[in-house]
Structure 1
Amino acid sequence: MGSLNMMMDRMPDIESDCLYSAARILREAARSSFILKMPTASHQSDKYSDTLADAVRYSRRHGTAVTVHTLGTRAKTSGTYRARFFEGGTRKRYQRRYRGRPLEHKRYLGYIKPVNFFMSAVTSASAQAMSEMEKILQEHIKNIQRMTETT
Structure 2
Amino acid sequence: MILSEKIIKLRKQLGWSQEELAEKMDVSRQSVSKWESTNSIPDLNKIIRLAGLFNVSTDFLLKDDIDTTEYLNESADADTVQVSLEQALSYIDNKKAQAKLTAKGVAFFVCSSAPLFFFLALSNMKNLDFDVNMAVALGLVSIF
What is the TM-score when the length of structure 1 is the normalising length?
A: 0.27
Larger RCO (CA within 8 A; separation ≥ 6): 1
Q: Could you say which structure has the higher helix fraction?
A: 2
> Higher strand proportion, which one?
1
